[in-house]
Amino acid sequence: PTDGVTGDVCPAGSYCPPGCPSPIPCPPGTYSNLSGLRSLQGCLDCPPGLYCDGTNSQAPSGPCEPGYYCTGGRTKTAKPEDGVTGDLCPRGHFCPAGSAAPSPCPSGEYSNATGQDQCLPCPAGFHCSKGLRRRCPPG
């Protein structure tokens, strides 16, 4: 399909419904690297681990920020907190840049705060299980 004004093929990152005078950009949370789209359904949801803020609708904008995860779908920000398209990394987990889901801390490591991009080694005098740090009982 053409854009209706110049007669050119509808450019990548947008779609051109019949009768529309100009290309319509794929909305934030989506992208398309294909030209000639006729409808919004041709725009693809942002892939897991990435976000699509709409500044360049021809490709994902980049990876989710460290300490956050992007589940995929229509993620619009590098720091999602809606619990649907992504969120802050939970306690007991870590989320490096580009995470699609939180990763549990390995045995012997912990993360007692949200929004961590790495786990820490368990210090002496503490027991770390399931990614959480607990003080050892006396004795």
Three-state SS annotation for the chain: CECCCCCCECCCCEECCCCCCCCEECCCCEECCCCCCCCHHHCEEECCCEECCCCCCCCCCEECCCCEEECCECCCCCCCCCCCCEEECCCCEECCCCCCCCEECCCCEECCCCCCCCCEECCCCEEEECCEEEECCCC
- Tens of pLDDT, residues 21-45: 889 999 999 999 999 999 999 999 9
Q: At 139, is the pLDDT very low, low, confident or very high (cuts 50, 70, 90)?
A: low
Instruction: Enumerate the domain spans of the chain.
Output: 1-45
Per the listing, tokens 């919004």 go with 40
Q: Is the pLDDT of residue 106 over 60?
A: yes
Q: At 4, is the pLDDT very low, low, confident or very high (cuts 50, 70, 90)?
A: low
- Tens of pLDDT, residues 124-136: 888 888 888 888 8
Single pTM value for the model: 0.85
